[in-house]
Structure 1
Amino acid sequence: MPSTIITGLVTKAGLMAKTVTMTVEKVKMHPKLLKTYVRHKKYLVHDPENKLSVGERIRAQACRPLSARKRFVLLESLGFRGDAQGSHSAEAEELRRLKTEASMPAAERERARIEQL
């Protein structure tokens, strides 16, 4: 049986080491009203290189349990949400990284800065 592959949007990044929160959107139809509605589900995804930032579209694959709630590993990055072809400029990526770092606690920011050196 093939493993599950899901596609979604990174909603939290940089708050946990090597982990991002991914939100998957599912459009359903009400059986009686025949009206469509949207359901969201969050998953924790293992990001071994800590390279993802908020707003990126990613594809993740199911794997063995890595922690209490982490059951998916990053398969590939599909670019940012607003991008048509999945390409983005270095400036936009830098702005997203700074925004992600701004939401981090001071200790996490310092740890990330040390890791970059």
Structure 2
Amino acid sequence: MKEKHNINPADGIYSDCKNPRQNTKNKSIIPYTKEGNTKEQNFLEPRSLPLSLSPREAEVLNLLALGLRTGQIAHALGISNVTVDMHIRNGRTKLGATTREHAITLALHHKLITPFSK
């Protein structure tokens, strides 16, 4: 049987969760290094510089920011889904992003993409 967790709506967290990376009230998740030491990280700052994306990576992230899915981006650009995923992965790596959404946030924050401009 799966273990149930008690959720305290006031805290917005699992109250009986033993995971050390789990959010606690008024705290953010702190990533752990391989050695187990914690490190503070501002998630809007990239991990490596200089900040740049290839024109295709920027184009794919622009379309992703507009809400298009991988298949829609592939169709719009005339490329395969695998190629779209590769451009997203390369963009994430260059930006030091942990997710696709994080990559979009970083790219917008650093003005590398402008999905709503003409």
| TM-score, normalised via structure 1 length | 0.23
| TM-score, normalised via structure 2 length | 0.23
Q: Which has the larger radius of gyration?
A: 2
